[in-house]
């Protein structure tokens, strides 16, 4: 059995879809479906069982014998960067992850988990997987950072595969349930359909209008990295998962407009509440991935947005 926590979420559901494409059906999907809209992400997927995240934690902590687990993909977390209840965030993202990690170490099960590029904060110190670059600026980022720190202590002596991925700006199918937290590609698509105009932030931090840059990575590439490490259990560590290339928000909007063959760009005032707490530039250092042996090229913005909009605008 393969277990995917957060399996009804954005990356988790795409991961299960890719496992299905490999012929995998013996999958336990773990999630919290309080937001029932997430069921649309999994309605076309084949799984063996579903379990609520609280029930799952109690299950693995019990003395009962469990089925043979081939791997745990731990994608579940409280991902709201605006959540400031530190006790809640640390219980869900840190303590919960530690519980699964120790279960996997005890039973020699590959543990592949989602970290986050948010650990780099505003990015002033760079985007290498190094302590000197890590400056989390919200509770979500801190919970991910602190779990990475915990993993670092255990990695030198770990016998089982442990892999953490610091995802950059992921976009693609099955993200619509995220609302305002959905990718800019998703929002620009909706705006072009509704009003034929994509709305971008005006310049900030020395960048011209729409010229702020992020490392935008298609979810298909993210899933491919996850499965590559499942197939290469000799590798372990913490890795950035991005394209390694920063692209402008203008480029994303232009790719959406090119797909629709119509549309304009409008620049809106930069929100006051985001000043000083906004990543105007991100670019993953993916040298670790390359050194581990992952050599596949990542989709460009034009390629990835086109693929995404093909799916998004033909979805049933």
| Backbone CA torsion sign across 30, 34, 35, 39 | positive
Annotated active-site residue 239? The verdict is no
Annotated active-site residue 178? The verdict is yes
Which one of 178, 267, 281, 294 is the catalytic residue? 178
Distance from C-alpha of 44 to C-alpha of 116, rounded to nearest angstrom: 27
Question: In sequence order, what DSSP letters do the residues of the chain get, joined into one string?
Answer: -EEEETTTSHHHHHHHHHHHHTT---EEEEE-TTSGGGHHHHTT---SEEEEHHHHHHHHHSSS--PPP-EEEE------TT---HHHHIIIIIIHHHHHHHHHHHHT--EEEEEEGGGGTT-TT-SSSSGGG----SHHHHHHHHHHHHHHHHGGG--S-EEEEEE-EEE-SS-GGGGGGS-HHHHHHHHHHHHSEEEEEPP-TTPPTT--EE-EEEHHHHHHHHHHHHH-TT--EEEEES-S--EEHHHHHHHHHHHHT--EEEEEPPPGGGTTS--SB-----HHHHHHT--PPPPPHHHHHHHHHHHHTT--
| Backbone CA torsion sign across 28, 166, 99, 40 | negative
Which one of 140, 171, 186, 308 is the catalytic residue? 140
Residue 36, token pair as written in the block: 């029932």
Q: At what angle do helices 249-260 and 184-195 cross, to 10 degrees?
A: 50
Q: Which residues are known catalytic residues?
A: 140, 178
């Amino acid at each position: 059995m393969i277990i995917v926590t957060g399996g009804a979420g954005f990356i988790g559901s795409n991961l299960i879809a890719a496992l299905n494409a490999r012929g995998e059906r013996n999958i336990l999907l773990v999630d919290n479906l309080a937001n029932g809209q997430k069921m649309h992400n999994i309605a076309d997927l084949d799984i063996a069982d579903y379990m609520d995240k609280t029930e799952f934690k109690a299950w693995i902590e019990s003395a009962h014998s469990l089925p043979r687990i081939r791997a745990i993909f731990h994608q579940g977390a409280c991902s709201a960067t605006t959540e400031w209840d530190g006790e809640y965030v640390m219980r869900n993202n840190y303590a919960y992850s530690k519980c699964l990690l120790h279960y996997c170490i005890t039973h020699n099960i590959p543990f592949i988990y989602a970290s986050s590029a948010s650990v780099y904060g505003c990015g002033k110190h760079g985007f290498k997987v190094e302590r000197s670059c890590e400056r989390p600026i919200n509770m979500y980022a801190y919970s991910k950072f602190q779990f990475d720190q915990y993993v670092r202590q255990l990695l030198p002596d770990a016998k089982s595969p442990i892999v953490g991925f610091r995802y950059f700006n992921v976009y693609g199918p099955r993200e619509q349930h995220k609302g305002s937290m959905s990718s800019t590609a998703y929002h620009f698509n909706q705006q072009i359909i509704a009003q034929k105009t994509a709305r971008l932030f005006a310049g900030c931090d020395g960048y011209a209008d729409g010229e702020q840059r992020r490392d935008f990575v298609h979810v298909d590439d993210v899933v491919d990295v996850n499965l590559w490490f499942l197939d290469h259990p000799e590798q372990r560590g913490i890795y950035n998962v991005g394209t390694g290339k920063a692209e402008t928000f203008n480029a994303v909007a232009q790719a959406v407009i090119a797909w629709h063959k119509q549309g304009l760009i409008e620049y809106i005032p930069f929100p006051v509440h985001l000043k000083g707490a906004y990543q105007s530039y991100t670019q993953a250092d993916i040298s670790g991935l390359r050194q581990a042996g992952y050599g596949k090229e990542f989709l460009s913005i034009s390629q990835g947005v086109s693929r995404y909009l093909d799916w998004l605008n033909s979805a049933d």
